[in-house]
Amino acid sequence: MFSKSEFREVVKSMGLVFGDIGTSPIYTLTVIFLLTRPTPVHIIGVLSLIIWTLIILVTLEYAWLAMSLGKKGEGGTIVLKEILVPLLKSSRNVALVTLLAYIGTSFLIGDGVITPAISILSAVEGLRIIPQFESISQGTIILISAAIAVALFSVQSKGIEKITWVFGPIMVLWFAAIGFSGIASIFYTPEVLNAINPYYAISFLLDNGIVGFFVLSEVILCATGGEALYADMGHLGREPILKAWRFVFIALVLNYLGQGAFLLRNPGSTNFLYQMINQQANILYIPFLLLSIIATIIASQAMISGMFSIVYQGITTRIIPMLKIDYTSGILKSQIYISTINWLLLISVLFMMLVFRESARLAAAYGLAVTGTMSITGIMMTSIFYHRKDITKAVISLFITLIDIVFLLSNSYKIPHGGYWSIIIAAFILSLILIYTSGQKKLYELMKLMSAKDFLKKYNYLYATQNKIMGTALFFTRDIESIPQYISHVMFKNNIIYENNIFISIIKSDSPFGIESSFTKEPAKGLKILEIRAGYMEIVNVEQILEDQGVHEKTIFYGVEDIFTNNLIWRVFSIIKKISPSFVQFYRLPTDELHGVMTRFEM
C-alpha cells in the first residue's frame, strides 16, 4: 500500500498537521451538550452534523479544493492571494483581495492564541476522573496547565527538530486509541451508525430552529485545525497529508460515534471521552490521560510552529514589520524561532487560561476565528476557480463557502460569551498590518529618490575626480532604477566613494521557494549590481550569498528613516519602525561592517 519512505512521511504528517483537529474529540461533544439536551434524537442529529462538517469543511474544502491550489507545493491565505491577484483586472478587486488576505492572516493569529489554552486545559481536566483527584480545584488545574504551557514555550528557542521525530508515532498511537475506543463503544449501541445519514443532521437543524442554528457554533469545534491541512502543505507535500487524513478521518468519526453511543447509554455523563475510556478499561485510564496531555502539547507545538511560519510569510511579503529571527535547524529551513511572537503568544495563552478558567468556557470563544478564516478561504478559492473557468469546482466551492458563512453567522452567538477576544486579537493584528503597510507606502512616496540616469551622471564625475577608499562598499536598494536618499548623502554630500561599490537588491518573487543571485550589470566603472531573487518563504542568508559570489566587503551602508509626525496613526507607525529590527539585522549581516545613514521624514 505504501513504500517505506511514503509511510514515514504519512506518520510525520500525523504529528505536524493533525494535532489540533485530532485532539478536538476531548471537548467537542461535551461542549455541544451544554447547549442542548442529550436525548437519543439530539445525539444522532449532532453526530450527523459532526460527520458531515468533517466531510464538507475539511475533506472537500481543504483536502480536495484548497490543496489543489498551491505554489511550488506551498499553501495558505497569502498563497491564495498570490494566485488570485494576477487573475484580477480591477485594482479595486486587488485591494479587496489583499484586505481579505490580511483579515484571514489576522484571524489565524487570533485563533492561535486560543488553541493551546483550550487543548491543554481540556486534557488536564481529565484528572478529575481519577478517584484520588475528584475534588481537585479548578485553580490547581489552571496552575498545572499554565506550567505545561510555560515549559512548552520555553523550549522553543532550543529548536524542536530533535524531538519532532517522536510526534508522528505518538499521534498514530493517539488516533489508534481513540479509534478503537470508539469501535468498542459502537459495538454495544450500533444504532449510532444511523448518524452517517445526512437526513438526521438536516432534521436536527429544522426541528430545533434557532437553538439548532447556535449548536452549529459548537459543532465547528470538530473541524478546528482543518485549515492546517492546507497551511502546512509546504512542509510535507500534498500526498502524505491526504493519505494521513484518510486514517485521521476514520479515527475521528469512530470516536465521535463511540462517544455518542456512550452518551446514549449514560445520559448523565459530563466528560464523555474520559468517562468512556475509564468505563471501558479503568486500568488504562491514567496512561490514556497522559497520552492525551502529550497529544495536546503536540497540537500546541504544531500551532506555535505554524504561527512562526505565518509571521515569517508576513515579514517577507512586507505586511508585518521585521522581527528578530533565529534559525534552529541546520537541515530544515522552515524551523525558525521568533522570540517576540513566542513570548507574546505565551502571555496571551496564560491570559486566556486565567480569564476563562475552564475549557467549556473557552469553547464559547473558540471557533469564531476559524470560521472567519474558512469563509475567506472559500471566497478566494471560488474566485480563483471562476477566473480559471473551472465552473464545476467554482460551483462546489461557492456551495461550501455558503456553508462556511452559515457557521460564521452561528458563531456570532459566541461574541458576548468571550468570542469578542478573537475579534479583539484579530482586529489588533489587522490594525498593525494596515498601519504598517500604509506607513511603508506613504514613506516610500516621501522619499526623494534619484533617477538612475541622474545618479550615474554625478557618480561618474565623482569617481573620476575624487580620491577613492580602498576596498568594497555595499549599498542596499529596493529598486536600482530609483536610488534612495541615503546613497546620495554618502556619496555626494559626504564625498565617500570606494574603489568597488556594489548595489544589492533583494527581490521577493511570487513563488514560495527558490534563491538565485547574480551580478546583472556594471553600469559604471567601480559600480556593480547584485540581484538576489528569493521566494517569499525563503530564509535568505545574505552573508553566505556574498561569500559564494566572491564579495569581501569592507563596509555596508544602509538607510535609517527617522519619522517626525503629529498624526496619531503615523506615530504608531513610527514606534513600530523604531522597535522592529532594521533589515540588516533581519538578514544577519556582520555588525562590525555596518554603517546606518539617517534621513528624517515628516509625515
Task: Provide the domain count of the chain.
Answer: 2
Is pLDDT at 564 greater than 90 in this prediction?
no
Is pLDDT at 62 greater than 80 in this prediction?
yes
Give pLDDT, residue 155: 85
Q: Using pLDDT thresholds of 50, 70 and 90, give the confidence band for residue 580.
A: confident
| Domain assignment of residue 236, yes or no | yes
Shared-domain flag, residues 410 and 500: no
Neighbouring CB atoms inside 10 A of 564's CB total 11
Q: Would you say 484 and 477 are in contact if contact means Cβ atoms under 8 Å apart? A: yes
| Domain assignment of residue 210, yes or no | yes
In the numeric block, which cell numbers belong to residue 516?
Answer: 538565485
Q: Which of 412, 440, 468 is the last residue of a domain?
A: 440
Give pLDDT, residue 235: 65
Q: Which one-letter amino acid corresponds to residue 197? A: N
CATH of the domain at 402: 1.20.1740.10
Shared-domain flag, residues 538 and 580: yes
Mean pLDDT for the stretch of residues 239-264: 96
Q: Which one-letter amino acid corresponds to residue 564? A: F
The strand pairing partners of 534, in sequence order, are 508, 515
Give pLDDT, residue 417: 84
| Domain assignment of residue 388, yes or no | yes
Shared-domain flag, residues 484 and 518: yes
Shared-domain flag, residues 417 and 294: yes
Shared-domain flag, residues 435 and 458: no
Mean pLDDT for the stretch of residues 333-349: 84
Q: Using pLDDT thresholds of 50, 70 and 90, give the confidence band for residue 100.
A: very high
Give pLDDT, residue 353: 94
Shared-domain flag, residues 279 and 354: yes
Is pLDDT at 177 greater than 90 in this prediction?
yes
Residue with cell 475510556: 277
Mean pLDDT for the stretch of residues 213-219: 94
In the numeric block, which cell numbers belong to residue 85?
Answer: 491577484
| Domain assignment of residue 7, yes or no | no
Give pLDDT, residue 72: 60
Is pLDDT at 552 greater than 90 in this prediction?
no
CATH of the domain at 473: 3.40.50
The strand pairing partners of 521, in sequence order, are 529
Is the whole model's pTM more than 0.95, yes or no? no
Give pLDDT, residue 333: 53
Taken in order 213, 215, 219, 225, the sign of the CA dihedral is positive
Taken in order 374, 58, 202, 51, the sign of the CA dihedral is negative
CA 84 to chain centre: 19
Residue with cell 434524537: 41
Q: Using pLDDT thresholds of 50, 70 and 90, give the confidence band for residue 336.
A: confident
Mean pLDDT for the stretch of residues 361-370: 85
| Three-class SS state of 330 | coil
Give pLDDT, residue 494: 87
Give pLDDT, residue 356: 92
Q: Which of 440, 473, 498 is the last residue of a domain?
A: 440
Shared-domain flag, residues 461 and 397: no
Shared-domain flag, residues 420 and 543: no
> What's the whole-number average pLDDT of the chain?
88
Mean pLDDT for the stretch of residues 492-517: 83
Q: Where is pLDDT greater, at 449 or 287?
A: 287
Is pLDDT at 204 greater than 60 in this prediction?
yes
Shared-domain flag, residues 456 and 387: no
- Give me the domain span that covers residue 479: 449-602
Q: Using pLDDT thresholds of 50, 70 and 90, give the confidence band for residue 510.
A: low
Phi/psi at 4 (5° precision): -60, -45
Lowest average pLDDT, out of 240-254, 326-340, 481-495, goes to 326-340
Shared-domain flag, residues 34 and 170: yes
Neighbouring CB atoms inside 10 A of 10's CB total 22
Give pLDDT, residue 447: 79
Q: Using pLDDT thresholds of 50, 70 and 90, give the confidence band for residue 207.
A: very high
Q: Using pLDDT thresholds of 50, 70 and 90, give the confidence band for residue 274.
A: very high
Q: Which one-letter amino acid corresponds to residue 502? A: I
Q: Using pLDDT thresholds of 50, 70 and 90, give the confidence band for residue 427.
A: very high
Q: Which one-letter amino acid corresponds to residue 519? A: F
DSSP conformation class of 449 = P
Q: Using pLDDT thresholds of 50, 70 and 90, give the confidence band for residue 76.
A: confident
Taken in order 206, 209, 210, 214, the sign of the CA dihedral is negative
Is pLDDT at 571 greater than 80 in this prediction?
yes
Shared-domain flag, residues 417 and 458: no
| Domain assignment of residue 347, yes or no | yes
Nearest residue to 353 (alpha-carbon basis) of 591, 1, 116: 116
Q: Long-range pairs for 61-64 at CB < 8 Å and ≥24 separation?
A: 61/226, 61/374, 61/377, 61/378, 61/381, 61/397, 61/400, 61/404, 62/226, 62/227, 62/229, 62/230, 62/377, 63/229, 63/241, 63/242, 63/245
Lowest average pLDDT, out of 146-155, 294-303, 308-317, goes to 308-317
The per-residue DSSP string of 213-271 comes to HHHHHHHGGGGTTTTHHHHTHHHH-HHHHHHHHHHHHHHHHHHHHHHHHHHHH-TT-SS
Crossing angle between the packed helical segments 138-154 and 91-124, to the nearest 10 degrees: 120
| Domain assignment of residue 2, yes or no | no
Is pLDDT at 536 greater than 90 in this prediction?
no
List strand residue ranges (DSSP E) for 477-578, in order: 482-483, 498-509, 515-524, 527-535, 555-564
| Domain assignment of residue 4, yes or no | no
State pLDDT tens for residues 379-412.
999 999 999 999 999 999 999 999 999 999 999 8
Tally of CA atoms within 13 A in the half-sphere of 127 that contains its CB: 16
Q: Would you say 315 and 119 are in contact if contact means Cβ atoms under 8 Å apart? A: no
Q: Using pLDDT thresholds of 50, 70 and 90, give the confidence band for residue 446.
A: confident
CA-CA distance, 324 to 336, in Å (whole number)? Answer: 10
Q: Which of 407, 423, 440 is the last residue of a domain?
A: 440
Q: Where is pLDDT greater, at 561 or 288?
A: 288
Give pLDDT, residue 381: 95
Phi/psi at 475 (5° precision): -130, 135
Give pLDDT, residue 303: 85
Shared-domain flag, residues 236 and 319: yes
Is pLDDT at 289 greater than 60 in this prediction?
yes
| Domain assignment of residue 80, yes or no | yes
Nearest residue to 509 (alpha-carbon basis) of 500, 521, 517: 517
Give pLDDT, residue 260: 97
Q: CA separation (Å) from 35 to 92, 117, 279?
A: 43, 21, 25
